[in-house]
Amino acid sequence: MKKVVSIQDISCFGKCSLTVALPIISAMGIETAVIPTAVLSTHTGKGFENYTFRDLTGDIPAIAAHWKSMDLRFDGIYTGYLGSIEQVGIVSDFFDGFRSENNFIVVDPVLGDGGQLYAGFTTEFVAEMRKLCAKADYIIPNMTEVAFLLDLPYTEEYDEAYVHDVLRKLSELGCRTPVLTGVCYDKEHQGAVAYDSVTGEYYSSFGENVDKHFHGTGDIFSSVFTGAAALGKPLQRCLDIAVGYTLDCIEATIPHFEETWYGSCFELCIENLIKYVKE
Ligand code: PXL
């Protein structure tokens, strides 16, 4: 069986980070180990306030040392939301200890959305995340995260040439294949565009655009992308599965949006994901 380790927080309520990565990657038939980097009562996104936050950074080196003593190996290492500068450094050490010729690293540089950083993040934190991106094979930012990573103004008006240009610049941070999510060239379509900096090729996948914000879709996309890459699917297929399933989740959430405004109802279409993986 393929094995992936996901390193990110567990937001106890709110359908994101580990409560998304663990069920989704497992459903793809992949053994999913976790390193919870923090425990929060909810996520920190819009609508939640006064959440608790217990930092688990200090536990990570001991977990890594125990796993090393057992000679554990992973086909993929996938990080998402990280809570502090120190934590990003410790995750970077984990990469050094567990990366090999035979595995890959995915960094979802969770920083913000809608042109704004999430609560608690600073420009110093962005600088540290930029360094982590340099160690990844794949990074999966949205447009907001691109603006912060590349120190560019945030814009919702762009064309294909602009997207290709920022993807090239992201690869210059040191990562082979940046994947940009939430790309809209027109009001009808939304999708993802990737750049393989070794071959110089661009890949993209688009679906219908639903013009509303759904929390947690970035984590759904990155989890599916990571799972598909661990299964050895080609880059185009990884994009198609991740875009397709994320859109399924958005459509499944619409009838429940009043009640489930804080996350996306990925649970209601997990059978689609299992089908896509087998196609
Ligand atoms: O969905 C990304 C995410 C993960 N973890 C925490 C968050 C967020 C986004 O708001 O707050 C704690």
Question: pLDDT (tens digit, 9 = 90+) per residue, 159-209?
Answer: 999 999 999 999 999 999 999 999 999 999 999 999 999 999 999 999 999
Q: Report how many domains make up the chain.
A: 1
**pTM for this model (two decimals):** 0.98
Short-list 266, 176, 191, CA closest to 229: 176
CA 161 to ligand 1 centroid distance, Å: 30
Q: How far is CA 150 from the centre of its chain?
A: 18
Closest atom of ligand 1 relative to the 216 alpha carbon? 1
CA 170 to ligand 1 centroid distance, Å: 22
Sheet holding 104-107, edge to edge: 53-55, 31-42, 3-13, 76-79, 104-107, 138-139, 177-186, 189-196, 201-208
Q: What percent of the chain has pLDDT over 70?
A: 100
Q: Tell me the HSE value of 49 on the side-chain side, using a 13 A CA sphere.
A: 1
Short-list 16, 14, 62, 55, CA closest to 36: 55
Structural domain span for residue 216: 3-278
Q: What is the CATH number of the domain that holds 79?
A: 3.40.1190.20
Place of tokens 């890959």: 104
**In the structure, what pLDDT confidence band is assigned to residue 155 with cuts at 50, 70 and 90?**
very high
pLDDT tens per residue across span 206-246: 999 999 999 999 999 999 999 999 999 999 999 999 999 99
Short-list 279, 271, 277, CA closest to 248: 271
Q: What percent of the chain has pLDDT over 90?
A: 99
Ligand 1 pocket, CB under 6 A: 9, 11, 16-17, 40, 43-45, 80-81, 110, 118, 216, 218-219
pLDDT tens per residue across span 2-33: 999 999 999 999 999 999 999 999 999 999 99
